[in-house]
Structure 1
Amino acid sequence: MEKHLYITDLDGTLLRSNATLSDYSRDTINKLIKEGMNFTFATARSIESSKPITKELEISLPVITANGAFLTDFKTHRHIHVSEIEKCVKKRALEIIHSGGCEPFISSHNNGSDNLYFSNINCEGMNIFYRDRVENKDRRLKKTEDLYGRLFEQVVTFNVINEFDKIERLAGNLEAELGDSLEIHYSEDMYLRGWCWLTAQSKYATKENGIRLLKEFSSLSDSKVVAFGDNVNDIKMIKSADIGVAVANALKEVKLSAKVVIGENDIDSVANYLLGIQNGN
Protein backbone atom coordinates (compact mmCIF):
# COMPACT_ATOMS: atom_id res chain seq x y z
CA MET A 1 0.00 0.00 0.00
CA GLU A 2 1.36 3.41 -0.98
CA LYS A 3 2.37 5.62 1.96
CA HIS A 4 1.71 9.35 2.11
CA LEU A 5 3.22 12.12 4.21
CA TYR A 6 1.06 15.20 4.77
CA ILE A 7 2.86 18.42 5.64
CA THR A 8 1.24 21.80 6.14
CA ASP A 9 2.43 25.33 6.65
CA LEU A 10 0.90 27.00 9.71
CA ASP A 11 0.27 30.76 9.32
CA GLY A 12 -2.20 31.53 6.54
CA THR A 13 -2.67 27.84 5.78
CA LEU A 14 -3.64 25.56 8.68
CA LEU A 15 -4.15 28.45 11.10
CA ARG A 16 -6.94 30.96 10.82
CA SER A 17 -6.16 34.60 10.05
CA ASN A 18 -6.06 35.40 13.77
CA ALA A 19 -3.21 32.87 14.19
CA THR A 20 -5.32 30.26 15.97
CA LEU A 21 -6.15 26.63 15.25
CA SER A 22 -9.88 25.92 15.24
CA ASP A 23 -11.28 23.20 17.46
CA TYR A 24 -12.67 21.52 14.35
CA SER A 25 -9.27 21.39 12.60
CA ARG A 26 -7.61 20.15 15.80
CA ASP A 27 -10.15 17.39 16.36
CA THR A 28 -10.23 16.34 12.72
CA ILE A 29 -6.47 16.11 12.39
CA ASN A 30 -6.08 14.26 15.70
CA LYS A 31 -8.69 11.74 14.54
CA LEU A 32 -6.81 11.23 11.28
CA ILE A 33 -3.47 10.82 13.08
CA LYS A 34 -5.02 8.18 15.34
CA GLU A 35 -6.24 6.38 12.23
CA GLY A 36 -2.67 6.23 10.93
CA MET A 37 -2.19 9.40 8.88
CA ASN A 38 1.43 10.63 8.72
CA PHE A 39 0.95 14.32 9.49
CA THR A 40 3.24 17.15 10.55
CA PHE A 41 3.92 20.80 9.82
CA ALA A 42 6.62 22.99 8.26
CA THR A 43 6.66 26.57 9.48
CA ALA A 44 8.71 29.74 9.54
CA ARG A 45 7.97 29.87 13.26
CA SER A 46 10.32 28.59 15.93
CA ILE A 47 9.23 25.65 18.06
CA GLU A 48 8.89 28.22 20.87
CA SER A 49 6.26 30.26 19.02
CA SER A 50 4.53 27.35 17.26
CA LYS A 51 4.03 25.07 20.26
CA PRO A 52 1.41 27.20 22.11
CA ILE A 53 -0.76 27.13 18.98
CA THR A 54 -0.22 23.47 18.07
CA LYS A 55 0.25 21.85 21.49
CA GLU A 56 -3.11 20.06 21.32
CA LEU A 57 -2.19 18.29 18.07
CA GLU A 58 -1.13 14.70 18.69
CA ILE A 59 1.82 14.78 16.30
CA SER A 60 4.37 11.99 16.67
CA LEU A 61 6.58 12.91 13.70
CA PRO A 62 9.29 15.60 13.90
CA VAL A 63 8.27 19.09 12.81
CA ILE A 64 10.10 21.46 10.47
CA THR A 65 10.65 24.85 12.06
CA ALA A 66 12.37 28.13 11.13
CA ASN A 67 11.67 27.48 7.44
CA GLY A 68 13.67 24.27 7.52
CA ALA A 69 16.61 25.45 9.63
CA PHE A 70 15.52 22.99 12.33
CA LEU A 71 14.11 19.48 12.25
CA THR A 72 12.63 19.29 15.74
CA ASP A 73 11.15 16.64 18.02
CA PHE A 74 7.62 17.93 18.64
CA LYS A 75 7.36 16.53 22.16
CA THR A 76 10.80 17.28 23.60
CA HIS A 77 11.72 20.37 21.50
CA ARG A 78 15.12 18.78 20.87
CA HIS A 79 16.57 19.66 17.47
CA ILE A 80 17.38 16.59 15.42
CA HIS A 81 19.12 18.63 12.72
CA VAL A 82 20.35 22.23 12.51
CA SER A 83 21.10 24.00 9.21
CA GLU A 84 23.26 26.94 10.24
CA ILE A 85 24.57 29.79 8.13
CA GLU A 86 28.18 29.30 7.05
CA LYS A 87 30.77 31.01 9.26
CA CYS A 88 32.23 33.04 6.42
CA VAL A 89 28.76 34.35 5.50
CA LYS A 90 27.37 35.41 8.90
CA LYS A 91 29.56 38.46 9.50
CA ARG A 92 29.14 39.82 5.99
CA ALA A 93 25.35 39.35 6.10
CA LEU A 94 25.17 41.36 9.32
CA GLU A 95 27.35 44.10 7.80
CA ILE A 96 25.06 44.33 4.76
CA ILE A 97 21.97 44.53 7.00
CA HIS A 98 23.49 47.37 9.02
CA SER A 99 24.71 49.21 5.90
CA GLY A 100 21.11 49.17 4.68
CA GLY A 101 19.98 51.05 7.79
CA CYS A 102 18.28 48.00 9.31
CA GLU A 103 18.56 46.04 12.53
CA PRO A 104 18.01 42.27 12.75
CA PHE A 105 16.70 39.77 15.20
CA ILE A 106 19.19 36.88 15.09
CA SER A 107 17.97 33.34 15.75
CA SER A 108 20.66 30.92 16.90
CA HIS A 109 21.30 27.67 18.73
CA ASN A 110 24.06 27.19 21.30
CA ASN A 111 24.73 24.52 23.94
CA GLY A 112 21.23 23.08 23.66
CA SER A 113 19.44 26.43 23.86
CA ASP A 114 17.66 28.50 21.21
CA ASN A 115 18.32 32.24 21.28
CA LEU A 116 16.72 35.30 19.70
CA TYR A 117 19.12 38.22 19.94
CA PHE A 118 18.55 41.89 19.21
CA SER A 119 20.53 45.04 19.85
CA ASN A 120 18.62 48.11 18.67
CA ILE A 121 14.94 48.46 17.79
CA ASN A 122 14.79 51.04 15.01
CA CYS A 123 11.20 50.91 13.75
CA GLU A 124 7.69 50.33 15.04
CA GLY A 125 7.43 47.00 13.21
CA MET A 126 10.36 45.67 15.22
CA ASN A 127 8.85 47.10 18.39
CA ILE A 128 5.52 45.35 17.81
CA PHE A 129 7.30 42.02 17.26
CA TYR A 130 9.48 42.61 20.35
CA ARG A 131 6.43 43.34 22.54
CA ASP A 132 4.69 40.21 21.22
CA ARG A 133 7.67 38.06 22.19
CA VAL A 134 7.79 39.68 25.66
CA GLU A 135 4.06 39.15 26.19
CA ASN A 136 4.44 35.51 25.16
CA LYS A 137 7.34 35.08 27.60
CA ASP A 138 9.66 33.91 24.82
CA ARG A 139 12.68 32.56 26.69
CA ARG A 140 14.86 32.92 23.61
CA LEU A 141 14.64 36.73 23.59
CA LYS A 142 17.91 38.36 24.70
CA LYS A 143 19.26 41.88 24.31
CA THR A 144 22.95 42.21 23.47
CA GLU A 145 25.17 45.22 22.90
CA ASP A 146 27.27 43.24 20.44
CA LEU A 147 25.50 41.17 17.80
CA TYR A 148 28.83 40.38 16.16
CA GLY A 149 29.90 38.78 19.42
CA ARG A 150 27.11 36.21 19.11
CA LEU A 151 28.06 35.01 15.65
CA PHE A 152 30.14 32.16 17.08
CA GLU A 153 26.83 30.41 17.82
CA GLN A 154 24.92 28.32 15.27
CA VAL A 155 23.15 31.23 13.60
CA VAL A 156 20.17 30.00 11.59
CA THR A 157 18.20 33.15 10.70
CA PHE A 158 18.59 36.88 10.29
CA ASN A 159 15.06 38.33 10.68
CA VAL A 160 14.61 41.93 9.54
CA ILE A 161 11.42 43.98 9.85
CA ASN A 162 11.12 47.34 8.13
CA GLU A 163 9.27 49.27 5.43
CA PHE A 164 8.87 47.53 2.07
CA ASP A 165 11.24 49.76 0.06
CA LYS A 166 14.04 49.30 2.58
CA ILE A 167 13.53 45.54 2.76
CA GLU A 168 13.40 45.23 -1.03
CA ARG A 169 16.74 47.05 -1.35
CA LEU A 170 18.25 44.95 1.43
CA ALA A 171 17.09 41.72 -0.20
CA GLY A 172 18.69 42.82 -3.47
CA ASN A 173 21.99 43.63 -1.75
CA LEU A 174 22.07 40.33 0.12
CA GLU A 175 21.16 38.41 -3.02
CA ALA A 176 23.81 40.17 -5.11
CA GLU A 177 26.67 39.35 -2.75
CA LEU A 178 25.55 36.27 -0.81
CA GLY A 179 22.83 34.77 -2.97
CA ASP A 180 24.80 31.55 -3.53
CA SER A 181 25.00 30.98 0.23
CA LEU A 182 21.71 32.28 1.56
CA GLU A 183 18.01 31.48 1.14
CA ILE A 184 16.30 34.88 1.19
CA HIS A 185 12.57 35.56 1.43
CA TYR A 186 10.62 38.74 2.03
CA SER A 187 6.95 39.67 2.05
CA GLU A 188 4.46 41.81 3.93
CA ASP A 189 3.89 40.43 7.40
CA MET A 190 0.33 39.08 7.55
CA TYR A 191 -0.06 40.18 11.17
CA LEU A 192 1.84 43.51 10.95
CA ARG A 193 0.20 45.17 7.99
CA GLY A 194 2.37 47.91 6.53
CA TRP A 195 5.58 46.22 7.63
CA CYS A 196 7.71 43.85 5.59
CA TRP A 197 9.55 40.82 6.99
CA LEU A 198 12.79 39.43 5.53
CA THR A 199 14.48 36.17 6.46
CA ALA A 200 18.02 35.26 5.44
CA GLN A 201 19.08 31.68 6.17
CA SER A 202 21.42 28.95 5.01
CA LYS A 203 20.76 27.81 1.45
CA TYR A 204 20.03 24.40 3.01
CA ALA A 205 17.41 25.82 5.39
CA THR A 206 14.35 25.26 3.24
CA LYS A 207 11.11 23.46 3.87
CA GLU A 208 11.67 21.03 1.02
CA ASN A 209 15.10 20.11 2.39
CA GLY A 210 13.52 19.71 5.82
CA ILE A 211 11.03 17.27 4.29
CA ARG A 212 13.88 15.25 2.78
CA LEU A 213 15.57 14.99 6.20
CA LEU A 214 12.26 14.18 7.88
CA LYS A 215 11.59 11.33 5.44
CA GLU A 216 15.04 9.87 6.06
CA PHE A 217 14.82 10.18 9.85
CA SER A 218 11.29 8.79 10.09
CA SER A 219 11.74 5.86 7.66
CA LEU A 220 9.28 7.44 5.24
CA SER A 221 11.65 7.73 2.28
CA ASP A 222 9.21 6.02 -0.08
CA SER A 223 6.23 8.14 0.95
CA LYS A 224 4.43 10.44 -1.45
CA VAL A 225 4.41 14.02 -0.13
CA VAL A 226 1.29 16.18 -0.01
CA ALA A 227 2.25 19.73 1.01
CA PHE A 228 0.05 22.74 1.82
CA GLY A 229 1.08 26.41 1.76
CA ASP A 230 0.22 30.01 1.05
CA ASN A 231 3.34 32.20 0.94
CA VAL A 232 6.62 32.69 -0.91
CA ASN A 233 8.56 30.44 1.47
CA ASP A 234 6.20 27.58 0.55
CA ILE A 235 6.73 27.67 -3.22
CA LYS A 236 9.71 25.31 -3.42
CA MET A 237 8.02 22.89 -1.02
CA ILE A 238 4.83 22.90 -3.08
CA LYS A 239 6.71 22.46 -6.36
CA SER A 240 8.79 19.57 -5.01
CA ALA A 241 5.83 17.73 -3.43
CA ASP A 242 4.06 14.92 -5.24
CA ILE A 243 0.89 16.93 -4.69
CA GLY A 244 1.30 20.62 -3.93
CA VAL A 245 -1.79 22.25 -2.42
CA ALA A 246 -2.43 25.98 -2.09
CA VAL A 247 -5.17 27.56 -0.02
CA ALA A 248 -7.44 30.04 -1.81
CA ASN A 249 -5.96 32.98 0.10
CA ALA A 250 -2.42 32.09 -1.05
CA LEU A 251 -0.32 34.44 -3.13
CA LYS A 252 -0.92 34.16 -6.87
CA GLU A 253 2.53 32.68 -7.49
CA VAL A 254 1.89 29.99 -4.87
CA LYS A 255 -1.40 28.99 -6.49
CA LEU A 256 0.31 28.82 -9.87
CA SER A 257 2.89 26.44 -8.37
CA ALA A 258 0.28 24.11 -6.90
CA LYS A 259 -1.49 21.13 -8.45
CA VAL A 260 -4.57 21.69 -6.27
CA VAL A 261 -6.18 24.85 -4.88
CA ILE A 262 -8.56 24.42 -1.94
CA GLY A 263 -10.63 26.84 0.15
CA GLU A 264 -9.37 29.61 2.41
CA ASN A 265 -7.53 29.10 5.68
CA ASP A 266 -10.40 30.55 7.74
CA ILE A 267 -12.81 27.73 6.83
CA ASP A 268 -10.76 24.66 7.92
CA SER A 269 -9.82 23.88 4.33
CA VAL A 270 -6.68 21.86 5.13
CA ALA A 271 -8.51 19.68 7.65
CA ASN A 272 -11.42 19.16 5.27
CA TYR A 273 -9.09 18.21 2.40
CA LEU A 274 -7.30 15.68 4.63
CA LEU A 275 -10.64 14.27 5.78
CA GLY A 276 -11.77 13.92 2.19
CA ILE A 277 -8.61 11.98 1.31
CA GLN A 278 -9.09 9.64 4.27
CA ASN A 279 -12.71 9.08 3.23
CA GLY A 280 -11.66 8.36 -0.35
CA ASN A 281 -13.11 11.52 -1.84
Structure 2
Amino acid sequence: MATITAAMVKDLRESTGAGMMDCKAALTETAGDMQAAQDWLRKKGLSKAAKKAGRVAAEGLIGALTKDTKGVVVEVNSETDFVARNDQFQGLVKMIAQVALEVGADVEKIKAAKVGAVTVEAAINDAIATIGENMTLRRAAALEVGKGVVSSYIHNAVTEGAGKMGVIVALESAGKADELAVLGRQLAMHVAAANPQAIDPAGLDPDLVRREKDVLADKYRQQGKPENVIEKIVESGLKTFYKEVCLLEQAFIHDSGKSVAQALKEAEGKIGGPVKVTGFVRYALGEGIEKQESDFAAEVAAASGKK
Protein backbone atom coordinates (compact mmCIF):
# COMPACT_ATOMS: atom_id res chain seq x y z
CA MET A 1 0.00 0.00 0.00
CA ALA A 2 1.32 3.43 -0.98
CA THR A 3 2.26 5.82 1.82
CA ILE A 4 0.05 8.92 1.70
CA THR A 5 1.98 11.88 3.09
CA ALA A 6 0.67 15.20 4.37
CA ALA A 7 2.50 16.93 1.50
CA MET A 8 0.61 14.82 -1.05
CA VAL A 9 -2.71 15.68 0.57
CA LYS A 10 -1.75 19.37 0.61
CA ASP A 11 -0.79 19.33 -3.10
CA LEU A 12 -4.04 17.61 -4.09
CA ARG A 13 -6.09 20.02 -2.00
CA GLU A 14 -4.39 23.03 -3.63
CA SER A 15 -4.93 21.64 -7.13
CA THR A 16 -8.60 20.68 -6.68
CA GLY A 17 -10.06 22.81 -3.89
CA ALA A 18 -11.48 19.65 -2.29
CA GLY A 19 -11.55 19.04 1.47
CA MET A 20 -8.58 17.54 3.26
CA MET A 21 -10.30 14.26 4.21
CA ASP A 22 -11.68 13.88 0.68
CA CYS A 23 -8.17 14.39 -0.72
CA LYS A 24 -6.76 11.78 1.65
CA ALA A 25 -9.50 9.33 0.64
CA ALA A 26 -8.84 9.98 -3.06
CA LEU A 27 -5.11 9.34 -2.69
CA THR A 28 -5.77 6.20 -0.68
CA GLU A 29 -8.20 4.88 -3.31
CA THR A 30 -5.74 5.57 -6.14
CA ALA A 31 -2.57 4.36 -4.38
CA GLY A 32 -1.09 7.85 -4.32
CA ASP A 33 -1.49 8.55 -8.06
CA MET A 34 -2.04 12.34 -8.16
CA GLN A 35 -3.76 12.51 -11.57
CA ALA A 36 -5.98 9.53 -10.80
CA ALA A 37 -6.86 11.13 -7.46
CA GLN A 38 -7.88 14.34 -9.23
CA ASP A 39 -10.14 12.32 -11.53
CA TRP A 40 -11.57 10.39 -8.54
CA LEU A 41 -12.55 13.65 -6.86
CA ARG A 42 -14.09 14.99 -10.05
CA LYS A 43 -16.14 11.82 -10.52
CA LYS A 44 -17.43 12.22 -6.98
CA GLY A 45 -18.22 15.86 -7.68
CA LEU A 46 -15.80 16.96 -4.96
CA SER A 47 -13.22 18.81 -7.06
CA LYS A 48 -13.62 22.55 -7.54
CA ALA A 49 -10.93 22.73 -10.24
CA ALA A 50 -10.71 20.64 -13.39
CA LYS A 51 -6.97 20.66 -13.52
CA LYS A 52 -3.85 22.25 -12.23
CA ALA A 53 -1.85 24.26 -14.74
CA GLY A 54 1.45 23.13 -13.26
CA ARG A 55 3.36 24.25 -10.21
CA VAL A 56 5.52 27.27 -10.88
CA ALA A 57 8.61 26.55 -8.83
CA ALA A 58 11.69 27.65 -10.81
CA GLU A 59 12.97 31.22 -10.95
CA GLY A 60 14.35 33.32 -13.79
CA LEU A 61 12.66 35.10 -16.69
CA ILE A 62 10.54 34.50 -19.77
CA GLY A 63 11.68 36.58 -22.74
CA ALA A 64 9.55 37.33 -25.81
CA LEU A 65 10.56 39.12 -29.00
CA THR A 66 8.77 39.69 -32.30
CA LYS A 67 9.66 41.24 -35.62
CA ASP A 68 7.02 41.53 -38.33
CA THR A 69 6.06 37.97 -39.29
CA LYS A 70 8.27 36.18 -36.74
CA GLY A 71 8.26 35.81 -32.99
CA VAL A 72 10.01 33.82 -30.25
CA VAL A 73 9.59 33.11 -26.56
CA VAL A 74 12.36 31.69 -24.35
CA GLU A 75 12.68 30.59 -20.73
CA VAL A 76 15.96 31.13 -18.90
CA ASN A 77 16.03 29.75 -15.36
CA SER A 78 18.03 30.79 -12.33
CA GLU A 79 18.11 29.58 -8.74
CA THR A 80 16.57 32.64 -7.09
CA ASP A 81 14.15 35.42 -7.95
CA PHE A 82 16.83 37.91 -6.91
CA VAL A 83 18.78 37.11 -10.09
CA ALA A 84 15.77 38.01 -12.26
CA ARG A 85 16.26 41.62 -11.09
CA ASN A 86 19.94 41.58 -12.07
CA ASP A 87 20.72 43.78 -15.10
CA GLN A 88 23.26 41.30 -16.47
CA PHE A 89 20.77 38.43 -16.31
CA GLN A 90 18.05 40.53 -17.95
CA GLY A 91 20.46 41.43 -20.73
CA LEU A 92 21.34 37.76 -21.16
CA VAL A 93 17.66 36.81 -21.58
CA LYS A 94 17.10 39.54 -24.17
CA MET A 95 20.23 38.47 -26.06
CA ILE A 96 19.08 34.84 -26.11
CA ALA A 97 15.65 35.90 -27.44
CA GLN A 98 17.36 37.92 -30.20
CA VAL A 99 19.47 34.93 -31.19
CA ALA A 100 16.40 32.66 -31.18
CA LEU A 101 14.65 35.09 -33.52
CA GLU A 102 17.55 34.63 -35.95
CA VAL A 103 18.37 30.90 -35.66
CA GLY A 104 15.09 29.34 -34.54
CA ALA A 105 13.80 27.60 -31.43
CA ASP A 106 16.21 24.64 -31.19
CA VAL A 107 17.88 25.08 -27.79
CA GLU A 108 21.15 23.45 -28.85
CA LYS A 109 21.38 25.67 -31.95
CA ILE A 110 20.73 28.74 -29.82
CA LYS A 111 23.49 27.78 -27.37
CA ALA A 112 25.93 27.10 -30.23
CA ALA A 113 25.18 30.40 -32.01
CA LYS A 114 27.77 33.14 -31.73
CA VAL A 115 27.23 36.66 -30.45
CA GLY A 116 30.37 38.51 -31.39
CA ALA A 117 33.31 36.28 -30.51
CA VAL A 118 31.52 34.02 -28.01
CA THR A 119 28.73 31.46 -28.17
CA VAL A 120 25.48 31.87 -26.25
CA GLU A 121 26.51 28.90 -24.10
CA ALA A 122 29.76 30.65 -23.20
CA ALA A 123 27.82 33.81 -22.36
CA ILE A 124 25.57 31.81 -20.03
CA ASN A 125 28.63 30.25 -18.36
CA ASP A 126 30.21 33.69 -17.96
CA ALA A 127 27.02 34.94 -16.28
CA ILE A 128 27.05 31.92 -13.96
CA ALA A 129 30.64 32.71 -12.95
CA THR A 130 29.94 36.41 -12.44
CA ILE A 131 26.55 36.24 -10.71
CA GLY A 132 27.29 33.06 -8.77
CA GLU A 133 24.12 31.08 -9.53
CA ASN A 134 23.37 28.20 -11.83
CA MET A 135 21.43 29.25 -14.95
CA THR A 136 20.03 27.33 -17.87
CA LEU A 137 18.25 27.96 -21.14
CA ARG A 138 15.36 25.59 -20.55
CA ARG A 139 13.23 25.96 -23.68
CA ALA A 140 12.31 28.12 -26.65
CA ALA A 141 9.49 28.32 -29.19
CA ALA A 142 9.02 30.24 -32.43
CA LEU A 143 6.10 31.18 -34.68
CA GLU A 144 6.10 32.60 -38.21
CA VAL A 145 3.48 33.51 -40.81
CA GLY A 146 3.78 34.21 -44.53
CA LYS A 147 1.57 37.31 -44.38
CA GLY A 148 0.41 38.91 -41.17
CA VAL A 149 2.00 39.48 -37.76
CA VAL A 150 3.28 37.69 -34.71
CA SER A 151 2.41 39.62 -31.56
CA SER A 152 3.66 39.23 -28.00
CA TYR A 153 2.66 40.03 -24.44
CA ILE A 154 4.71 39.85 -21.24
CA HIS A 155 2.83 39.50 -17.97
CA ASN A 156 4.45 40.67 -14.73
CA ALA A 157 7.26 42.30 -16.71
CA VAL A 158 10.43 43.11 -14.79
CA THR A 159 12.00 44.77 -17.83
CA GLU A 160 10.92 45.41 -21.41
CA GLY A 161 10.37 42.08 -23.16
CA ALA A 162 10.95 39.87 -20.11
CA GLY A 163 8.89 38.80 -17.12
CA LYS A 164 7.16 35.91 -15.36
CA MET A 165 4.99 34.92 -18.31
CA GLY A 166 5.33 35.38 -22.05
CA VAL A 167 2.91 34.79 -24.93
CA ILE A 168 3.29 34.96 -28.68
CA VAL A 169 0.36 34.72 -31.12
CA ALA A 170 0.57 34.32 -34.90
CA LEU A 171 -2.11 35.93 -37.08
CA GLU A 172 -2.28 35.28 -40.80
CA SER A 173 -3.87 38.06 -42.83
CA ALA A 174 -3.26 40.31 -45.81
CA GLY A 175 -5.01 43.17 -43.98
CA LYS A 176 -3.63 46.31 -42.33
CA ALA A 177 -0.54 45.42 -40.30
CA ASP A 178 -1.11 48.12 -37.66
CA GLU A 179 -4.69 47.04 -36.91
CA LEU A 180 -3.59 43.41 -36.98
CA ALA A 181 -0.86 44.14 -34.42
CA VAL A 182 -3.43 45.69 -32.05
CA LEU A 183 -5.63 42.61 -32.33
CA GLY A 184 -2.61 40.35 -31.92
CA ARG A 185 -1.64 41.96 -28.62
CA GLN A 186 -5.23 41.67 -27.36
CA LEU A 187 -5.21 37.97 -28.23
CA ALA A 188 -1.82 37.48 -26.56
CA MET A 189 -3.22 39.05 -23.39
CA HIS A 190 -6.23 36.76 -23.67
CA VAL A 191 -4.01 33.67 -23.97
CA ALA A 192 -2.05 34.77 -20.90
CA ALA A 193 -5.25 35.11 -18.85
CA ALA A 194 -7.35 32.22 -20.19
CA ASN A 195 -4.61 29.63 -20.83
CA PRO A 196 -6.22 27.81 -23.79
CA GLN A 197 -4.88 24.35 -24.61
CA ALA A 198 -5.49 24.53 -28.38
CA ILE A 199 -6.86 26.84 -31.06
CA ASP A 200 -9.93 24.64 -31.62
CA PRO A 201 -11.17 21.16 -30.63
CA ALA A 202 -9.31 19.53 -33.54
CA GLY A 203 -6.03 20.64 -31.99
CA LEU A 204 -6.62 19.08 -28.56
CA ASP A 205 -4.68 16.04 -27.43
CA PRO A 206 -7.00 13.04 -28.06
CA ASP A 207 -5.98 11.59 -24.68
CA LEU A 208 -7.15 14.78 -22.95
CA VAL A 209 -10.54 14.57 -24.67
CA ARG A 210 -10.84 10.85 -23.90
CA ARG A 211 -10.03 11.48 -20.26
CA GLU A 212 -12.67 14.22 -20.06
CA LYS A 213 -15.26 11.88 -21.60
CA ASP A 214 -14.40 9.14 -19.10
CA VAL A 215 -14.65 11.49 -16.13
CA LEU A 216 -18.03 12.82 -17.26
CA ALA A 217 -19.44 9.39 -18.08
CA ASP A 218 -18.28 7.81 -14.81
CA LYS A 219 -19.63 10.71 -12.77
CA TYR A 220 -23.17 10.31 -14.14
CA ARG A 221 -22.95 6.53 -14.25
CA GLN A 222 -22.42 6.60 -10.47
CA GLN A 223 -25.60 8.67 -10.22
CA GLY A 224 -27.50 5.84 -11.91
CA LYS A 225 -28.18 7.59 -15.21
CA PRO A 226 -28.96 5.24 -18.15
CA GLU A 227 -26.29 4.90 -20.84
CA ASN A 228 -28.30 6.61 -23.60
CA VAL A 229 -28.78 9.64 -21.33
CA ILE A 230 -25.12 9.60 -20.30
CA GLU A 231 -24.07 9.76 -23.95
CA LYS A 232 -26.08 12.95 -24.49
CA ILE A 233 -24.81 14.48 -21.24
CA VAL A 234 -21.21 13.71 -22.20
CA GLU A 235 -21.62 15.39 -25.60
CA SER A 236 -23.10 18.46 -23.92
CA GLY A 237 -20.33 18.40 -21.33
CA LEU A 238 -17.68 18.28 -24.03
CA LYS A 239 -19.11 21.43 -25.62
CA THR A 240 -18.71 23.18 -22.27
CA PHE A 241 -15.20 21.75 -21.95
CA TYR A 242 -14.25 23.10 -25.39
CA LYS A 243 -15.43 26.57 -24.36
CA GLU A 244 -13.03 26.36 -21.42
CA VAL A 245 -9.92 25.09 -23.21
CA CYS A 246 -10.14 26.04 -26.92
CA LEU A 247 -9.02 29.56 -27.84
CA LEU A 248 -11.62 30.31 -30.51
CA GLU A 249 -14.48 29.11 -28.30
CA GLN A 250 -13.43 30.89 -25.11
CA ALA A 251 -15.19 34.07 -23.97
CA PHE A 252 -12.97 36.97 -25.10
CA ILE A 253 -11.46 38.62 -22.01
CA HIS A 254 -11.81 42.09 -23.56
CA ASP A 255 -15.53 41.53 -24.22
CA SER A 256 -16.96 38.51 -22.40
CA GLY A 257 -20.19 38.76 -24.39
CA LYS A 258 -18.33 37.44 -27.43
CA SER A 259 -16.27 34.38 -28.16
CA VAL A 260 -12.75 34.88 -29.50
CA ALA A 261 -13.97 33.63 -32.90
CA GLN A 262 -16.71 36.29 -32.92
CA ALA A 263 -14.24 39.00 -31.90
CA LEU A 264 -11.93 37.97 -34.74
CA LYS A 265 -14.78 38.14 -37.24
CA GLU A 266 -15.77 41.62 -36.08
CA ALA A 267 -12.16 42.83 -36.26
CA GLU A 268 -11.87 41.82 -39.89
CA GLY A 269 -13.77 44.98 -40.89
CA LYS A 270 -11.08 47.27 -39.44
CA ILE A 271 -8.26 45.06 -40.62
CA GLY A 272 -9.62 44.85 -44.15
CA GLY A 273 -9.51 41.10 -44.71
CA PRO A 274 -9.89 37.64 -43.18
CA VAL A 275 -7.83 36.84 -40.07
CA LYS A 276 -6.70 33.38 -39.03
CA VAL A 277 -4.95 32.40 -35.81
CA THR A 278 -2.28 29.94 -36.92
CA GLY A 279 -0.60 29.36 -33.55
CA PHE A 280 0.15 30.56 -30.05
CA VAL A 281 2.69 29.78 -27.33
CA ARG A 282 2.27 30.55 -23.64
CA TYR A 283 5.24 30.13 -21.29
CA ALA A 284 4.74 30.56 -17.54
CA LEU A 285 7.96 30.65 -15.55
CA GLY A 286 8.90 27.29 -14.08
CA GLU A 287 5.70 25.44 -15.03
CA GLY A 288 6.21 21.71 -14.71
CA ILE A 289 9.37 22.06 -12.63
CA GLU A 290 9.22 20.90 -9.03
CA LYS A 291 11.54 22.76 -6.71
CA GLN A 292 12.89 20.87 -3.72
CA GLU A 293 11.14 22.25 -0.65
CA SER A 294 12.97 21.88 2.62
CA ASP A 295 11.45 21.60 6.08
CA PHE A 296 13.81 23.78 8.11
CA ALA A 297 12.51 22.58 11.48
CA ALA A 298 12.96 18.95 10.44
CA GLU A 299 16.47 19.65 9.19
CA VAL A 300 17.42 21.24 12.53
CA ALA A 301 15.91 18.30 14.43
CA ALA A 302 17.77 15.83 12.23
CA ALA A 303 21.05 17.70 12.71
CA SER A 304 20.60 17.55 16.51
CA GLY A 305 19.75 13.85 16.44
CA LYS A 306 16.08 14.41 17.29
CA LYS A 307 13.00 13.29 15.35
> Is TM (by shorter chain) over 0.5?
no
More helix by share: 2
Q: TM-score w.r.t. structure 1 length?
A: 0.28
Which structure is larger by alpha-carbon Rg, 1 or 2?
A: 2
Q: TM-score w.r.t. structure 2 length?
A: 0.26
